[in-house]
Amino acid sequence: MAVPRNTLKKWEKVREFALALPGAAEAHAHALTAPGAEPAGYGLGKAGWVRVPLAERGAPAAELLCDWVEESYRAIAPKRLAAELDER
């Protein structure tokens, strides 16, 4: 999926990113390999949430973050709504 340029610019302002990846095991494992990444606190890590500090050297690029968001959405969204992404 192509990410609009204005979306990528918005990511540049984010310092820390928390992402729910409960049904996206591959993305979850990949997110945990990012520098400084860890399961989210308050028990959210057990539910698949990952905290990724974006100020760290080697932090994931904005486009990869957008891919993780899409993968996470597709894993938990109703099939009808996930199919709408394919229509765009």
pLDDT single digits (tens) 16-64 = 666 666 666 777 888 899 999 998 888 878 888 888 888 888 988 888 8
pLDDT over 80 (residue 2): no
* Two tokens, residue 12: 């540049």
Q: What is the pLDDT of residue 30?
A: 85
**Which residue reads 């996470």 in tokens?**
72
Task: Say if CB 51 and CB 32 are below 8 A apart.
Answer: no
Task: Please give the Cα distance from 26 to 59 (Å, whole number).
Answer: 18
Q: Where are the domains of the chain?
A: 5-87
Q: What is the pLDDT of residue 1?
A: 52
Q: What is the pLDDT of residue 88?
A: 73
Task: Please give the Cα distance from 71 to 32 (Å, whole number).
Answer: 15
Higher pLDDT, 1 or 72: 72
Nearest to 15 by CA among 54, 57, 65: 54
Q: Where are the alpha helices (DSSP H) in the chain?
A: 5-11, 25-31, 62-76, 79-87
